[in-house]
Structure formats: structure tokens, C-alpha cells
Chains A and B, each alone.
Chain A
Amino acid sequence: MLSVAILLPIIGAVVLAALPKGREEILKAWALLVTLATAGVGVYLLVAFDYAKSGQLQFTVNTEWIPVINSRYHIGIDGISLPMLILSMVITVLCVIYSWDHFPEPHNPKAFLILMLLLETGMNGTFAAEDLILFFVFFELVLLPMYFMIGVWGGPNRQYAAIKFFLYTLFGSALMILAFLALYFKGGETFDIPLLIAQGGTIGHSTQVLIFAGLFMGFAIKVPMFPFHTWLPDAHTEAPTVGSVILAAVLLKLGTYGFIRIAIPILPDAAMTWAPWIGLLAVIGIIYGALGCLAQKDMKRLIAFSSVAHMGFVMLGIATLTSFGINAAVFGMVAHGLITGMLFFIAGSVQERFNTREISRLGGLLLQAPRLGWVLGFCVFASLGLPGLAGFWGEFPAILASYQPAQGLQLWVFRTYMVVASIGTVFAAGYLLWMLQRVAFGTAKTEFEKSHIHDIHIPEYIAWTPLLLGIVALGIFPSLLFHVTDKAVTVVTSGVTQLASAR
């Protein structure tokens, strides 16, 4: 069943490629159908998932794939993968709906939708993969479609942004695959993640540290962590709305997911060694991203930089190596997916209405398109971590966790991080409200006074409502997510805790 969730989109893409180019309605309908079907599978998974055993892999498939290098087609989901999987499914559907009647230029729905479906396969696969090589393949599979999405349908500077995004990520994954192979040889000649988790601890410390470095490069660039983040603003700014939404909502999560799923459980020892540095980069990212935001003139770019800050919180949570921290991280991933995804949607809609995202030229959105304005306001508050909305549960527990990181980590170091991170929340409020004020408050600038601004229209409503509901629901009932992830996280941290108890 899980395989269906992975393969359905790509099959759909192939069929789509066969459909006539001219008949746009059919193309869109088909794409929507496929994504919905996939989401349907997702719903089935949600229902059939045994939450009592959310710590173990479920819906596992484990068949021979490449015996030569002893790599198997091994997939399965646990409490951590499930939410991410659902997230990517939902986002894709919404993106198809959103782009329903305004495809970016050059107008070529067929290619665009095919890419979107390919992307979904890649994302779903990554979240389900339980074999390093398989993971790698899916991890990379998302590169090409996103490259073309940015490069073909992007903004004026798209080619630069696209190739930059591509090169960065590829550089990371080149080192990552080396690390994977090192794991293969050091970890008992297998790429199977569960097996490696079982045996990973046996690898010598220095070796672990080296391998972890490789993995780190791979994942950190994807996250992206300071100082590997510079591809992100360009990619986001240039990408078409849907592209940035998927990029922000799901693709960035691949990196953090990699940390949680692979790096930490397999190499707990190295994780202990690296955690302080990861934490450092994380908090730098938090402050740095905030400063970056304050310096922006472009709405979308600002949101992009805010992602750097938010992922900083996620990484901080991970760096604590505690159950609290990593739960927070997973929550943060989902929350950021929903919220920042929303923000990019809005930025796109604003762009579409005003043909500019330049904050200084905008203003009085609340007067011209009240609903859009209020939604923006809502998302801003969600994004700055307002309690009662999803964002808070990503930030607060992360900060909480860094008060008392995993045993064996320097207390004072992480408490310093805690303080810095919490100051970061103020910055977050700063730049987001500043943006809100410039964009939504005040009155329209003269150049747009006359122009009629269409308020939210139907596809936008359909595409956004689920996200907004999700933000509120998760904000009020965080346990919706926590009770899924918790057990799985304890599995992740088990290695670290064993180390701690061994000390």
C-alpha cells in the first residue's frame, strides 16, 4: 500500500505525458485525480496506522533490489515519517488546486504538472525509504523537477537561482553518498537503516565523527543551516509560487528528516560530538535569519529568510538529542510546512495581484483585499510562534529542551543557545510584524490606489482552508502530532540515551 503512495504519482506523470497537450482541462483533472488518489492512500494509511505501535515501522515492504551492493527496496513508516508523508501528499494536492487557473508563465500546464507529480514521488519515497540507497535515490529525485520548476517558470533571475540550488544540494549529496557507502562498509555491509541502527553504535568513534560529517553536509545544505543557506533565498525568490510552497513545506524537511531518521540513530556517538556545533549553527541561523529578514525589501525573500530562522529552531531541537527536542523538531517541521507554505501562497497571490512583492510599494492590503490581509496577519502570528497556533509547539519545546540537553552534553553551552534562541523569537516577531505593517496596514500607495484588487478567490480558498485549519488544530491540540511522534522519537534517541547511561 505504501508503495502505491510512492509510485502512484510517477505512474500518473507517465500517463500525463501521454495525454494530449492541448486539452488542458483533462490534464489538470487527471493531475488532481492522481494527487487526490495518493492523498486517499494517505488517508488509508492514517486510518490503518497502528498508533499504539507508532514506534515501529509499519506497512513495511522489504524485497530484493540491487543484490550486488546488497541494497534492498525496503520501505516503511513510523510515527515520524507518517506526518511528513501526509504533509507532502496534502501540500501537493493543494498546489495542484492552487495553480488550477493561474499557471505560471511560460504557460505549459502539462510539463508543470508532470514535474509536480515527480516531485511528490520523490518526497513520499524519501519519507518512506528505509534503505540508504533507496533514500538517496528519492532524495535526489526531487532535485530535477525542482530545478526545472525554478529554472523554467521562475522569476527574472531564475537560471542563476536554479543552478545554485542544484549545485548546493548536489554537492551535499555527493558527500552524503560517500558517507552512506562508508556506513555500508563500517556498518556490516548493509544499507538497511534499521539494521544499521542496530549495529551503528559499534563503529569506532573517530570513524563515526567522519561519517557524520559527510551526512551533515548532505542534510545541512538541504535544511538549510547557516552558512549553507544562501541558495535558499534565491531559490525561493525566483521559484514560482507553487515551487516555493513545495520547497518550503516539504523539501527543506528532507534534510532535518535525514538527521532524525539516519544520522542520529545510526551514529549516536558522533551525534553527541557534533550536537554542540549543530546547535551553534542552529542558533546562529536563528539570529542570522532574523537579521536577514529585517534587511529584505522583497516580501517573498523575507519569508525565505524566515525559513532559515525557523529551521534553526528545528535544528536546535534536534541538536539537544532529547525526546522533547526531537519531538519539537518534528512538530516544527510540520508547523513550518503549513505556515510558511501558507505565507508563500499569500506572497504568490500578492505578487499576482500587484505584480510586485516589493514591501515598500505595497500597503493597505487590508483595505483593498481584507480577507487576504487577515489571512496574512493570521499566518504572520502563527509564524512568529504565537501560542495556540502550530508554530509555538515547534519553538517552545525546542527551547525547553535546550535547557536540559541529552546527558553528556555541556549544559551551559545549550543554555546559552536557549537564551539566544528565545531572543530570536522577539526578532521573529519584529520582522514579521514589520512586514505585516508595511504590507497590510496603512493605505494603498498611490500607484495602486485605483487598481481593483481581487480578494481571495475560490481555488485559493480551497487550497488554503486545510492549511489554516491545520495550523489552528495543531496549535490547540498539539497532542494530535505529539502522540504520533513520541514513541518513534524515543526509538531515535535510544542510542543516545544508551550512551548516556553507559557513561
Chain B
Amino acid sequence: MLENAWLIPLIPAISFVVILAFGKRLPAKGAEVGIGAIGVSFVLAMVAVVQWVGRDEPREAVERHLTWWKVGGVDIGAGIHVDGLTVMMLVVVTFISLLVQVYSTGYMEGDRRYTYFFAALSLFTASMLMLVVADNTLQLLVGWELVGVCSFMLIGHWWEEEANSSAAIKAFLTTRTGDVGLMLGVITLFFAAGQNFDIANLNRMAINGDISHGLLLTGAALLFLGVMGKSAQFPLHVWLPDAMAGPTPVSALIHAATMVVAGVYLVARIYGVFWSGFSIGDGGINLIAIIGGITVIIAAALAFVQDDIKKVLAYSTISQLGYMVMALGVGAWTAGVFHLFTHAFFKALLFLGSGSLIHAVHSNNMSEMGGMRKKMPTTFWTFMVGSMALAGIPPLAGFWSKDEIINGASHGFELFMVVGLLGAFMTAAYMTRAVYLVFFGEYRGHAHPHESPPAMAWPLKILGVLSVVGGLVGTAIVGDTWRFAHWMRFDVPGAKEIVEEHAFNLPVATLSVAVGLIGIGIAAGYYLRNMFPRGAAEKSGLVRLGYKVLVNKYYLDNLYIDGIVRTIQYPIAKAAYWINQNVIDGVVNGVGIGTRKTAQVVYDVVDQKVIDGAVNGAGFTAEEGGIVLRQTQTGRVQTYAAVLFGASALIAVGLVLFT
């Protein structure tokens, strides 16, 4: 299967065409085609994993390629490069995609563009898989752009509302801005590697120092621009929250599990370049880590002040992506990839969960939810699992990967360890807030919530399970051969080993768990306790007197809470959010508007007046000249005669003088 991994992207591609062609006429409106195809791909992907793990050491990446096109003696190949990273991605993508499609049959039921939706999903999956198997940067670029388009189509799925289409455009443009960097980076590296797009070769040359550091740095920096766009890293993260305008399954698939991690994948895939480009090996701080770190904190802070549940998750996604990027930035390659792996499950779970909530209450706003615990048990439990996994509560999936990252950072990148811990704390806190607002307290909405249909419930359950056990792959429990770090290594044939492993480190682990729990604690305390005085305030004055002390106590309590938590959370978060909306986002939108304005000016003034004016002006002067010259034609023969004689004499004198 490894040799024929190209089949895995091909099948969904075909299904895309099929659905587009016949989808509408099929009994299930094309859903079955999509699901069937992706199912097959999933199976194949699993086979691939097994085969890969089953290979004997050292595992050589499987490469196959053929000439795609050829210009001026340089031939550009298309092909596949299959190794641990690839197969892992293959599985994740196909699996999540499968579940999401199943889920969508329920969620999207009766949608006017049901078929198109599935077609788009198929296309997306195909492109994503193609991106994953690509063995050269050009092909990767192609897949990269294609997923971008699919995300555009799917975000704007309900394009009747302008908000949605605008969000779609914003997403596309922002990522494409990053892609400029990517494209230029690809080009730079193409020439750096001697007119060659091949990734393995690129890594090798990078690590062996066959490429000047300057070029590598440029290339890496440019590529990272693309990463920032795609993986929503600060400051190009602004598009992701808006992207929540799309249907929730889409958010789960594209904006949580797969597409947004393409950036991370890219870094991981071409790690050699980044590693030597940013000289990560030497420790200290570097662009990747910094951006990752900033993103972790900023996004987490922003997650506090969201009312829209999907936005909460979106920011959390951004922050988690920040983790991954940071991990790669601090040389914890395996950890980053591992987090990518686990995060896919629980974040997809959370999104699908939120999806089922939204499906039930017909609103994204947590202010219109509450008390869902009883109404939607499945959703509740799975969501809880997801949140805890995200918060990094052992032994859930999130714990292992996040711990590994923090652990990795602790070797030479202490600063980022702190960041990681702070992030963990905040993550735990905002998730708790979300969970509280959604599931506890009274229902504040107007719809009549009910548990979602099985098509939606089952994926939740499956993902729930995986969120629990998924992390164990990283431990010795699964046996040494199957241990993640064992078959998931970054090794380039003909180049030295650059990624070193770090043994499980209990203090760090406990620390991270601790901050997580504290976060939950504080948040829970804040939200749960605060109820009582409010509740009490409704009661009669007598009671109010009797409660004096208690109240006083809770004065302290409140004081403490207000004094500390609020100052920590709200103002900072609010400030951050304000900056986010008005500065960063403002800049992004401003750029858009500004361009339009300049365009208008340029067009009206430069084009129509100056350039066009110049030309028409020439014509005008010609006409004017005509008018003036006409005056000489007085119609009086003797004037003509005067000209005749005068001119003759004049020219005569002139010629005599000048010859």
C-alpha cells in the first residue's frame, strides 16, 4: 500500500467528480458516494500505517515519482513520499473526514446544497491527502492552494448571507497573503536546491549545510509566512474565527483537525530547512517558537471573552496550533506532531459536539444555552471528555502530547516552557467556563433542545473514546513497536539525526497537570459560586440580613475573585480582544478597504485623468491645431498670394543664408 499511497487521494477525487456529475440523481444525494470513497481511503490508510509500522528498521521513506512537466532541461516531477508522518496524516485526515461526513448526513439534512456540500468535502479531502503525500514542494503548494479553495467554498457554503461569503473571502485572502510567502519560499528553495523541488533532497541538503545559511533562513522565513497564514498563527490568525461562519462539520474537519494543521505539517515535513534555517539546534529563541508562543497566549486569552461557542473553540484551536508550532520551534518535533495527532481527535470531537448543540438550540451563543447536561447527555459526556482532553487531564489524549511539548521546551527553551504552562492554565480555565455556560445552570434559549440523531451521536462517541485512549499511543503501554515516537521519526537518509527524544519527565508532567487543575478550579469556583449571592438577592430583606456574614465572606471571596481573577482574566483578555478586533483585524480589513480606496483613486486619477487624459489631450491638441490652422485659410485669394510670394522670398533668404 505504501507504494500505491497515491490511490488514497485519488479515490476521493474521483468521488468528487462522480458526486458533481450524478450526485443529485442518487438516492442519498451523493452522500453515500462520498462516505464510501472516504471509507475506502481510510481503510487503505490504516493498511498503510500497519505496513509502515511493520517495516523493519531503519524505516526508509517510500518514494515514487514520475515527470510531471519539463522546461529548459529541468524536469519537474510529481510523486509520493510516504513515511511515518505521511501515514499518520493519512489516517487522521481520512478518519476525521469519514466521521465528519457521516455526521453531516445528519447535520446538513435538508440543506439546499446538500450534494455540493459532499462534493466539496470530497474535493477537500482529496486535496488535503494530495498535500500530505506530496514528495515535492510544488505539488505540496498545489494541494495547499486547493484546500484553501475548498475551505473558501465551505465557509461560504451559505452564501446567501453576505457575512458568510465575506468571511470566506477574508479567509481565502488572508491565507493567500501567507501563501505569497510560501510561493516565494518554494521558489527560493527550488533554486537553492539546484532547480529541484524534491523535499527529501531539500532536507538533506539543508541539514548537511549544502545550502548557504542565508538562503535557508530566507526560504524558511518565507515558508513560515505561509504557515502563519494557513495555521492561523498570530498575527494572521484573524480569519479563523470568522471562518466559523461555515457549517460546523466543516469547522471540525477543516478548521480544527486537518487543513489548519497543514502549516504545522509543512514545517514538520520540511523540518530540515527550518531546523538549520532558524538554527533551532543551538537552542535559544527563534521566530517559530516566538510566534507559536505568542499565539498560544493571545488566542487562549481571547477564548475567554467569546459568547459564540464555536469562536471559543476556534480560538482554542489557534492556541493549540500555537502549541504545535512552538513545539516544532523548540525542536520537539515528535511532540508537535503528536499533539497534532491527538488534537485532531478531541478538537474534532468538541466541534462536532458544539455542532450537535447548535443543531439543537439553533444558536451559536452560549448565552442562549445552559443546562444542556440533562437535555443532551451524549453530547454532554463526550464534550466533557473532549474538554478534559484539551485541558490536559491525564490520562486523556491531550495530556500526553501537551506534556511532551512542555517537556521538550524544558530542554533549552525554558521561557517557552513557562508559556506552555501558562497556556495550559488558561486553556483549562476557558474550557471550564465554556462547559459551565453550556451545560450547567438553566436553559436560557427558546428552542426545544433534544439529543441529536445517531448519525451525529455516533461520531461523537467514537471520537470520545479516541480522545480518551488516543494519547496512549505515545506511551509504552502500546508496546515499543507501536509507540508513536518509535515509528514517527524525522530521519532523512544521508543526513544526521536532528530530532532527539526526551524521556517522560514526571515533575514537568505534574506541574502541567497542576496548572491545568488550578485553572479549572478557579474558573469553576468563579462561575459556580457566584450564583448563590445572586440567587439570594432575590430573597426577602430578612434573609438578606441573615446572610450578612456569609455575604461578607463572599465579599472577600468576590474580592479575591474580582481582585485577582478578573484582573488577570477580563481586563487582559478584553484588552487583548479589543486589540485583536480593532488593531489586527482592523489592519486586515483596513488593508482590504484601503486597497479598494487607493484603487479607486488610482483608477479615477491616474488612469482616467493622467494616462487616458494624456492621450485624449494629444487628440484634443491636434483638433485645436486644426482649428487654429483653419484661420489661415481666409478664403481671400490675395492673402494666399501674399503667402505665396512671402514664403518664396523667405525660404529663398533662408536657403541662401544656410547653404
Contact = CB atoms under 8 A, between A and B. Distances in A.
A466 interface: no
A434 B595 CA distance: 12
A292 B599 contact: yes
Nearest to B181: A422
Interface string A371-413: 0000000000100001110001000110110011000000000
B142 A388 contact: yes
A89 B448 CA distance: 64
18 contacts: A230-B611, A230-B615, A288-B606, A290-B599, A295-B604, A323-B73, A399-B184, A430-B173, A433-B173, A434-B169, A437-B162, A437-B166, A442-B160, A479-B69, A483-B69, A486-B71, A489-B72, A490-B72
Interface stretch (B92-100, B186-194, B331-339): B186-194
- 6 residue pairs, one from A and one from B, having the closest CB atoms: A323-B72, A295-B603, A294-B599, A387-B142, A479-B69, A441-B159
A443 interface: yes
Nearest to A296: B603
A403 B612 CA distance: 33
A277 to B, nearest CB: 17
Interface string B166-199: 1001001100110010011001101100000000
A486 B603 contact: no
Given A392-B142, A400-B190, A429-B173, 16 more contacts: A288-B606, A296-B603, A324-B71, A327-B72, A364-B160, A396-B183, A422-B180, A422-B183, A425-B176, A430-B173, A433-B152, A437-B159, A482-B70, A482-B71, A486-B71, A486-B72
B146 A387 contact: yes
Contacts of A364: 160
Contacts of A422: 180, 183-184
A366 interface: yes
Given A288-B602, A396-B183, A486 B146 contact: no
B141 interface: yes
B231 to A, nearest CB: 18
Given A433-B172, A442-B159, A489-B72, A423 B599 contact: no
Given A387-B146, A427-B595, A482-B71, A292 B172 contact: no
A267 B403 CA distance: 66
B149 interface: yes
Nearest to B602: A291
Contacts, number: 133
A403 B188 contact: yes
B4 interface: no
Contacts of B173: 426, 429-430, 433
Interface residues of A, number: 56
Interface of A: 164, 167-168, 227, 229-230, 288, 290-296, 322-324, 327, 364, 366-367, 381, 386-388, 392, 396-397, 399-400, 403-404, 418-419, 422-423, 425-427, 429-430, 433-434, 437, 440-443, 477-479, 482-483, 486, 489-490
Contact of B70 (A322, A429, A479): A479
Interface string B575-619: 000000000000000001001101110111011000110010001
B165 A442 contact: yes
A36 B142 CA distance: 36
B70 A486 contact: yes
B184 A295 contact: no
Interface in B49-73: 67-73
A188 B494 CA distance: 58
Interface string B604-639: 101100011001000100000000000000000000
Nearest to A323: B72
B72 A291 contact: no
A443 B160 contact: yes
B31 to A, nearest CB: 19
Nearest to B182: A422
Contacts of B598: 291
